Structure 1
Amino acid sequence: MGILDDARVATRLPAQDLERARRFYSEKLDLEPIDERPGGLLYRCGGSDFALFQSAGASPGTFTQMGWEVDDIEAVTAELKRRGVVFEEVDLPGLRTVDGIADIEGNYPSKGATGERGGWFRDSEGNMIGVGQPVR
């Protein structure tokens, strides 16, 4: 057994403007912090926590920093777009989005699935966030 096998994983996302980030997560994602401290906001989704922390550094936003697994990606994507969230459009060999959603074969994050349907957007701080639905 490894030293971290029973440890909980918690995502931390940098925010140059914590109040701007709070508004984005509230207005666009319908999330409210469960706790807040000077320089940080703590959120809980589906039994897991993630935190936004005040940072002078900025995220490059070039890779997925956090993602949600959802049951209906089309409904979630449509609602987020209605709220003003802008999804990335990607057209690369082996990865192409249509209306913000890509069909991905054998994507690892989908446990016990043959692939995933996924989409990505940036939060107000430039963090790349993903949503995905396993394909079974």
Structure 2
Amino acid sequence: MLKELHTVLPAADLKRAQAFYHDALDLDPAEVHQGTLTYRLDSGAAFEIYETSNAGTARNTQMGWITDDLDAEMTKLRARGVMFEDYDIPGMKTVNGVAAADDMKSAWFRDTEGNFICVSEML
């Protein structure tokens, strides 16, 4: 039976990725093993970052976070150097980095390895 879910992200440079997640997201790995960083969150969720030359090739959202206050989260992340993506595609247009729908608003940024990370607030 499936019991737990966690994300696995690629990194071309594991030390650079580790510095980004520490500096921008205030996260440090709980475990470091043979080219893999494992992050464990207070919620029980976890994600891994592993070193590979394939990093940065995906063009889709690879990890999503839920927050209670997207505006405050974006302000904090921008102060730490995070740049949010802007989109103007059929069905979605961001304003100041935020795409709004009836029940959610979301923003995307890329980590140093080119991974697309989404932060959403349920309305």
Question: Deviation digits for residues 66-89 of structure 1, max 9, x if unmatched?
Answer: 010000000001110110001001
Q: Compare CA radii of gyration and give the structure with the larger one.
A: 1
TM-superposed deviation, 1:92? 1.6
Residue 68 of structure 1: aligned partner: 65
Question: Shift in Å at residue 60 of structure 1?
Answer: 2.3
* One-letter code aligned to 2:112: S
Counterpart among 28, 46, 50 of residue 49 in structure 1: 46
Identity %: 42
Query: Does the CA-based 8 Å contact 1:28-1:84 persist in structure 2?
Result: yes
8 Å Cα contact 1:61-1:122 kept in structure 2: no
Partner of 2:94: 97
Normalised to the residue count of structure 2, the TM-score between the two structures is 0.93
Aligned residues: 122
TM-score, normalising length from structure 1? 0.85
CA separation in 2, counterparts of 1:58 and 1:41? 15
In structure 2, C-alpha distance between the alignment counterparts of 1:89 and 1:61, rounded to whole Å? 17
Equivalent in 22, 30, 35 of residue 31 of structure 2: 35
Aligned partner of 1:7 in structure 2 is 3
Matched, 1:78 2:75: yes
- Counterpart amino acid of residue 98 in structure 1: V
Cα RMSD, aligned residues only: 1.2
Q: Structure 1: 5+ residue runs without aligned partners?
A: 106-114
User: 1:26 aligns to what SS in structure 2?
Assistant: helix
Deviations along 1:29-64, whole A, 9 cap, x unmatched? 111111111201011222100000011212324110
CA distance in 2 between counterparts of 1:100 and 1:16 reads: 26
